[in-house]
Amino acid sequence: MENQVTSHIIKGVILSAVSIVFAIIVYVFNLYEMSALSYVNYAIFLGGLIYGAILYSNQNGNKVTFGNLFAHGFKTTAVVIVITSIYTIISVKFLFPDMVDKSLAIARKKMLENPKMTDEMIEQSLGMVKNYFLPFALGGTIIGTGILGAIGSLIGAAAAKKNTNPFEDSSI
């Protein structure tokens, strides 16, 4: 009986679901200003990628290479990027349209703490952010998740056990 290998798609859907549920909890309980919560979400994502690489290696009898493991982790990341990008669009446009105003209020509060920022500069900055909130949110989602996914895939590929000899040619 051959071991079943859990697909990167399944792992990506699970990690996306966890991330989306976490984002909804942060929104519902109005926990935007607790920046430590974003680190918790990042840690869960990294941990999931590392665990996914170790699981993939174990399910393949540890006969995998660093490249196989990294590719599997980054494919998982790609699935997460697609799903969370779709969620970002839906949440900003339809589910939580007041998210833009809440984010701008937090940004205004932080800008007011800077004595070099004039009221005119703050209004100009917030106006631009309001006009381009969705592209900024999508860009942040794609780039941030991609970078974090690459890091997690590298760590997972390094941490997983590999029983391969790069000097041995198995095709002979």
pLDDT band at 168 (very low <50, low <70, confident <90, very high): low
Provide the pLDDT for residue 166.
Answer: 61
Stronger pLDDT, 117 or 3, i.e. the higher one: 117
Question: Coil, helix or strand for 48?
Answer: helix
Residue 114 within a domain: no
Which tens digits make up the pLDDT trace of 53-107?
999 999 998 889 999 999 999 999 999 999 999 999 999 999 988 888 888 888 8
Is residue 104 domain-resident?
no
Q: Judge whether 120 lies within some domain.
A: no
User: Which residues, 6+ apart, have CB-to-CB distance to 73 below 8 Å?
Assistant: 8, 49, 52, 53, 149, 152, 153, 154, 156, 157
**Total domains present in the chain:** 1
- Please state the rounded mean pLDDT for residues 37-41: 89
Domain membership of residue 16 (yes or no) is yes
- Cα–Cα distances in Å, from 102 out to 27, 51, 139, 154? 10, 35, 19, 35
CA dihedral angle for residue 84, residue 105, residue 116, residue 114, rounded to 10 degrees? -80
pTM of the model: 0.86
Q: Is the pLDDT of residue 16 over 60?
A: yes
* Within-domain flag for 88: yes
Please indicate, yes or no, if residue 112 is contained in any of the structural domains.
no
Nearest alpha-carbon partner for 15 in 28, 3, 6: 6
| 127 found inside a domain | no
Q: Flag whether 72 is in a domain.
A: yes
Query: Given this model, what pLDDT does residue 52 score?
Result: 96
Encode pLDDT of 108-159 as tens digits: 888 888 878 888 888 888 888 888 989 999 999 999 999 999 999 999 999 9
Q: What is the per-residue pLDDT for 1?
A: 45
pLDDT at 122: 84
pLDDT band per the 50, 70, 90 thresholds, residue 162:
confident
- Pairwise pLDDT comparison (42 vs 113), residue with the higher score: 42
- Domain with 88, as residue range(s), is 8-96+140-159
